[in-house]
Chain A
């Protein structure tokens, strides 16, 4: 008897869907890891996996909520500060049955209120908790919204290229059409409205109704922060073209320069005033996985809807309810993220120290990574203004492209596999995010995305960096020394390994293929 579920009769949309972040490279990396090789995963923005420590205060609060019987223990004060105890009691009072009961399908009303208050503080405009839905991570939220929008192959979603593969994967799973618009690498990954209009015109000529536009701000994998002027253009564009704006703002805490702070799409929309502010439909996404929190494993997030019609909100609520409720511990993390310790609280100093430490270190790493990439031959990299990734462009020589072809691989996949085999560094090839084909150069341009290594030992950076630069100029001995030093000290951070190996690999690669 034939199987019901042969590959041939699987849902076609499932087969079509690609998810690069955990694709071929990741699987190969996992295999190598099984074989005992040390692998540095920079393919996913997963900071705790690379040694970033969780912020103490939220962990204390959630631990107390997990074990509420501790709250009655006279010795609880020996292990937990008083403000964590107070907070835990606060959150438990917002639930009906603690962490063990389903909440409202949209999340605990009390936490949604905290989210709304945060948004109001951030943007200066009030926000309605009824239009905020908590989710198991931002990905779930994106899927819910796209599910409501996409009816079939004729519905198009504008997605930036390079993009975060969640969008392409979800659109393909839901059977919709991805309409790409290109970010301008030479303009620091800025968004060019002209090219956007072109994309829309082209899609329409193919009978596609463009229904929504995704922006990722700060950008993933491209790391740019959109300017206020750029956001205004985008909102105007959405207004004129009647498309819903989906604002992926999960990296809003991850800003590594001061010239271009994060501005929410919602604030810009409200600033623009009517009629636009009353018309453009906007869904903004946020998460506990990013920022200095980096609590990826909790799967916590929210989306906020602006100008979405109440009936549609009802339908989205209905779909949310099929999954009963988002996980409650992560809802509490979200509440805490919105409402962290304040000056004067017992835990404030520690919280502040920890969060600043993480952000400053990320900022340093953003510089080191960008500079490092740019110091390599045939590699250019825009500065990581925000988010958690570097997205360098690699100009692959024809010989490498030929070699890739004969191996049946896309050139950047080929490169990343080589990098992985040689160094244990797991990256994501640019083709997984989408990229422009060869402009300005005789051979195609290729990218790889590399999540910031998360160092514990900052002191070494400058020295290492200097040595790496030396190495790139062709001083293999120096490089060997660095490696030896690094291995000896054992304290070395993932970032240092990452750099060390990366540079070695670049060198070998260039030697072999140039």
Chain B
């Protein structure tokens, strides 16, 4: 008898997660991360920050407290690049959310809400999304292959999961899931991923081009490490952007060259604007080396049109830029009029081959309908790099030996899910469609609700996991924020949290056009909670506007 995931929302909120954040100085056109002389760098960097409710990192226990005056590593003698990748607002909203949660534990009536709702991070399973059963069956069997031959196993696991586990184990030398693999990942799994890419794109993929990584983030780091030699090297990044990029560029000592997405055209990417930014940076002596495109967008949720992607490909080709394509939300598309096209497919469709354009595509097991954040699985597909560069990438990968095997297996599974005719096909499809259609409904409900608020406009979430509404804050509110030395959007987010228990990330964490204010809100809370979130949000906003309307 086969069991399906039991609803289990075991203290989903035990951990608090917040994206915290600081904003870059929105007017600068080039953010250098090398302002060492300046103790308070203007170009601070935002980054996603996770923290735990149970802990307070700034307060080591008494027994550990020592006098640090004689120790060699002082805060001003650690790597300035580490200091540089800033997190200015991190404390504020996280700490507040944690404090409120503690309050509620002690006294459930201490606040006008009874729970904290985390809409700040793309961590779906922490909010109750269930994993895809088939994937977990295969992973469990690969973790404990000793039960594969047992009769009882067939009663508990689906036949195709057993078969798949055997297939995967046979691809692993010695069936050793506890061994380091090839530093690019297990070859057989890379073959499977390539078949998946080929099925998606209609163009072949080469397993030697695949680097399996512990989530997409280390892959991004690896590319930054390779590209950035000094602060004179620039990386073009969208604004608003996912803070991994700014943080990683800062850590590696490069310069972020921003280009703005156009909110008025649904966060459109205007190549002529990118070109302007590129030229401005070049005129300042910045050697711009790569262009980051996040498609579907984070935090902006737009899905690029194919024609737009073609322009981007041509632009990168003509300007000699590496195209870093963050495609981790490729399965998260919520509108019928948009479709995901990988940049590789677009480039190959245009007739550009391996040697015409340098392209890196990032994929992750953390997003999509699977949302397996805790597994840290992902890969990058690198095409258009000379063999000697490839060798250097391999070397970098090898210093860390390999990525975790569970994550590698899962990356191969998400690229080759059950097919028609497999025993698990129906349940898999039902689970997948259930999650994706529910996400689409949640996105629409939240978007409509936000658009109905006074002074709020919200582009639709065509893809990804977030809404990024713009709030026209009254001058009075902006003044009030100033008087408490807070960015106006952070002020709003704080008030929102205090009044409703809903945690969002201020737009200043992602970057925004100067003088505009936003926040990022995930569409991930379970569907039955959405109405409550909408009504709390609406009530709060009304009251906020009543208080501050000019």
Contact surface of A with B, Cβ cutoff 8 Å: 1-7, 9-12, 14-15, 17, 19, 21-22, 30, 44, 46-51, 54, 56, 59-60, 62-64, 66-76, 78-79, 92-93, 95-106, 109, 126, 128-131, 136-137, 139-140, 143, 147-151, 166, 169-170, 173, 211, 242-244, 275, 278-279, 281, 289, 294-299, 306-315, 317-319, 321-330
- The answer to whether A49 touches B180, judged by C-beta atoms less than 8 angstroms apart, is yes
Q: Is residue B399 within 8 Å, beta carbon to beta carbon, of the partner chain?
A: yes
Chain B contacts with A in 206-244, Cβ cutoff 8 A: 214-215, 217-218, 221, 225-229, 244
Within the complex, the shortest CB–CB distance from A505 to chain B, in Å, comes to: 23
Within the complex, the shortest CB–CB distance from A14 to chain B, in Å, comes to: 5
- The answer to whether A170 touches B78, judged by C-beta atoms less than 8 angstroms apart, is no
Please indicate which of the listed interface residues B289, B322, B396 has the most CB atoms of chain A within 10 Å of its own CB. B396
Q: Is residue B458 within 8 Å, beta carbon to beta carbon, of the partner chain?
A: no
Chain B contacts with A in 110-131, Cβ cutoff 8 A: 121, 123-129, 131
The closest CB in chain B to the CB of A311 belongs to: B75
CA distance A307 to B68 in the complex (A): 7
The closest CB in chain A to the CB of B66 belongs to: A278
Q: Is residue B106 within 8 Å, beta carbon to beta carbon, of the partner chain?
A: no
Within the complex, the shortest CB–CB distance from B187 to chain A, in Å, comes to: 10
Chain B contacts with A in 431-446, Cβ cutoff 8 A: none
- For B17, the chain A residues whose CB sits under 8 A away are 102
11 A-B pairs with CB atoms under 8 Å apart are A4-B320, A63-B144, A66-B140, A100-B124, A104-B52, A169-B399, A297-B179, A298-B406, A307-B71, A312-B73, A325-B374
Beyond A1-B320, A297-B181, 9 extra complex contacts between A and B, CB < 8 Å: A4-B321, A21-B398, A71-B6, A96-B15, A103-B374, A104-B51, A136-B376, A310-B59, A321-B48
The closest CB in chain A to the CB of B151 belongs to: A78
Return the contact of B386 from the options A7, A102, A321 (Cβ within 8 A).
Answer: A7
CA distance A329 to B373 in the complex (A): 11
Interface string of B49-93 (1 = CB under 8 A from A): 111101111111101101110111111011110110101001000
Knowing A131-B64, A315-B83, A319-B82, the reply to whether A309 touches B399 (Cβ < 8 A) is no
- For A294, the chain B residues whose CB sits under 8 A away are 178
Within the complex, the shortest CB–CB distance from B368 to chain A, in Å, comes to: 12
- The answer to whether B15 touches A100, judged by C-beta atoms less than 8 angstroms apart, is no
Q: Is residue B264 within 8 Å, beta carbon to beta carbon, of the partner chain?
A: no
- List the count of A-B residue pairs having beta carbons below 8 Å apart: 380
- The answer to whether A109 touches B79, judged by C-beta atoms less than 8 angstroms apart, is no
Knowing A75-B155, A318-B85, the reply to whether A48 touches B178 (Cβ < 8 A) is yes
Return the contact of B123 from the options A68, A101, A211, A242 (Cβ within 8 A).
Answer: A101
The closest CB in chain B to the CB of A89 belongs to: B10
Q: Is residue B358 within 8 Å, beta carbon to beta carbon, of the partner chain?
A: yes
- The answer to whether A54 touches B400, judged by C-beta atoms less than 8 angstroms apart, is no
CA distance A97 to B78 in the complex (A): 35
- For A1, the chain B residues whose CB sits under 8 A away are 317-320
- For B59, the chain A residues whose CB sits under 8 A away are 130, 310
CA distance A131 to B55 in the complex (A): 11
Q: Is residue B363 within 8 Å, beta carbon to beta carbon, of the partner chain?
A: no
Knowing A106-B52, A148-B82, the reply to whether A312 touches B217 (Cβ < 8 A) is no
- The answer to whether B389 touches A11, judged by C-beta atoms less than 8 angstroms apart, is no
Within the complex, the shortest CB–CB distance from B374 to chain A, in Å, comes to: 4
Within the complex, the shortest CB–CB distance from A343 to chain B, in Å, comes to: 23
Knowing A79-B153, A97-B128, the reply to whether A299 touches B398 (Cβ < 8 A) is no
- The answer to whether A315 touches B405, judged by C-beta atoms less than 8 angstroms apart, is no
- For B180, the chain A residues whose CB sits under 8 A away are 44, 46, 49, 289, 296-297
- The answer to whether A149 touches B73, judged by C-beta atoms less than 8 angstroms apart, is yes
Name the interface size band of chain B: 35 or more
Within the complex, the shortest CB–CB distance from A294 to chain B, in Å, comes to: 6
- For B396, the chain A residues whose CB sits under 8 A away are 14, 17, 173
- For B389, the chain A residues whose CB sits under 8 A away are 5-7, 10
Knowing A63-B140, A64-B140, the reply to whether A297 touches B402 (Cβ < 8 A) is yes
- The answer to whether B125 touches A324, judged by C-beta atoms less than 8 angstroms apart, is no
The closest CB in chain B to the CB of A176 belongs to: B79
CA distance A50 to B181 in the complex (A): 12
Question: What 10 A-B pairs come out closest when comparing CB atoms?
Answer: A328-B374, A49-B179, A63-B144, A100-B125, A297-B405, A97-B126, A67-B140, A97-B125, A104-B52, A22-B398
Please indicate which of the listed interface residues B177, B180, B389 has the most CB atoms of chain A within 10 Å of its own CB. B180
- The answer to whether B75 touches A19, judged by C-beta atoms less than 8 angstroms apart, is no
- For B321, the chain A residues whose CB sits under 8 A away are 4
CA distance A322 to B251 in the complex (A): 10
CA distance A299 to B401 in the complex (A): 9
CA distance A50 to B173 in the complex (A): 9
CA distance A277 to B339 in the complex (A): 61
Contact surface of B with A, Cβ cutoff 8 Å: 1, 3-6, 8, 10-15, 17, 47-52, 54-61, 63-64, 66-68, 70-75, 77-80, 82-83, 85, 87, 90, 121, 123-129, 131, 133, 136-137, 139-141, 143-144, 146-147, 150, 152-153, 155-156, 173-174, 176-183, 214-215, 217-218, 221, 225-229, 244, 247-248, 251, 289-290, 317-322, 358, 366, 371-376, 384-386, 388-389, 392, 395-396, 398-407
Return the contact of B388 from the options A7, A74, A296 (Cβ within 8 A).
Answer: A7
CA distance A12 to B47 in the complex (A): 27
Please indicate which of the listed interface residues A22, A96, A148, A294 has the most CB atoms of chain B within 10 Å of its own CB. A96
Return the contact of A69 from the options B5, B75, B183 (Cβ within 8 A).
Answer: B5
Within the complex, the shortest CB–CB distance from B252 to chain A, in Å, comes to: 8
CA distance A75 to B50 in the complex (A): 38
- The answer to whether B74 touches A70, judged by C-beta atoms less than 8 angstroms apart, is no
CA distance A148 to B85 in the complex (A): 12
Return the contact of B376 from the options A130, A143, A326 (Cβ within 8 A).
Answer: A326
Within the complex, the shortest CB–CB distance from B399 to chain A, in Å, comes to: 5
- The answer to whether A15 touches B320, judged by C-beta atoms less than 8 angstroms apart, is no
- For B322, the chain A residues whose CB sits under 8 A away are 4-5
CA distance A29 to B401 in the complex (A): 16
- For A137, the chain B residues whose CB sits under 8 A away are 400-401
CA distance A379 to B150 in the complex (A): 49
- The answer to whether B404 touches A136, judged by C-beta atoms less than 8 angstroms apart, is yes
Please indicate which of the listed interface residues A44, A72, A297, A309 has the most CB atoms of chain B within 10 Å of its own CB. A297
- For A98, the chain B residues whose CB sits under 8 A away are 8, 125, 131, 374
Knowing A44-B180, A68-B5, A297-B180, the reply to whether A2 touches B128 (Cβ < 8 A) is no
- The answer to whether A327 touches B404, judged by C-beta atoms less than 8 angstroms apart, is yes
- The answer to whether B60 touches A131, judged by C-beta atoms less than 8 angstroms apart, is yes
CA distance A362 to B57 in the complex (A): 40
- For A73, the chain B residues whose CB sits under 8 A away are 1, 3, 156
- For B66, the chain A residues whose CB sits under 8 A away are 278-279, 307
- For B372, the chain A residues whose CB sits under 8 A away are 99-100
Within the complex, the shortest CB–CB distance from A494 to chain B, in Å, comes to: 10
- For B126, the chain A residues whose CB sits under 8 A away are 96-97, 101-102
Within the complex, the shortest CB–CB distance from B417 to chain A, in Å, comes to: 16
- The answer to whether B3 touches A151, judged by C-beta atoms less than 8 angstroms apart, is no
CA distance A97 to B128 in the complex (A): 6
- For A278, the chain B residues whose CB sits under 8 A away are 66-67
Please indicate which of the listed interface residues B59, B215, B401 has the most CB atoms of chain A within 10 Å of its own CB. B401
- The answer to whether A79 touches B60, judged by C-beta atoms less than 8 angstroms apart, is no
CA distance A53 to B402 in the complex (A): 20
- The answer to whether A281 touches B71, judged by C-beta atoms less than 8 angstroms apart, is yes
- The answer to whether A298 touches B147, judged by C-beta atoms less than 8 angstroms apart, is no
- The answer to whether B55 touches A56, judged by C-beta atoms less than 8 angstroms apart, is no
Knowing A70-B156, A296-B401, the reply to whether A319 touches B73 (Cβ < 8 A) is no
- For A101, the chain B residues whose CB sits under 8 A away are 15, 123-126, 373-374
CA distance A60 to B407 in the complex (A): 18
Return the contact of A312 from the options B14, B78, B141 (Cβ within 8 A).
Answer: B78
- The answer to whether B399 touches A96, judged by C-beta atoms less than 8 angstroms apart, is no
- The answer to whether B60 touches A327, judged by C-beta atoms less than 8 angstroms apart, is no
CA distance A130 to B400 in the complex (A): 25
CA distance A311 to B15 in the complex (A): 23
CA distance A329 to B144 in the complex (A): 13
- The answer to whether A5 touches B226, judged by C-beta atoms less than 8 angstroms apart, is yes
- The answer to whether B218 touches A319, judged by C-beta atoms less than 8 angstroms apart, is no
- For A318, the chain B residues whose CB sits under 8 A away are 47, 49, 82, 85, 87, 90
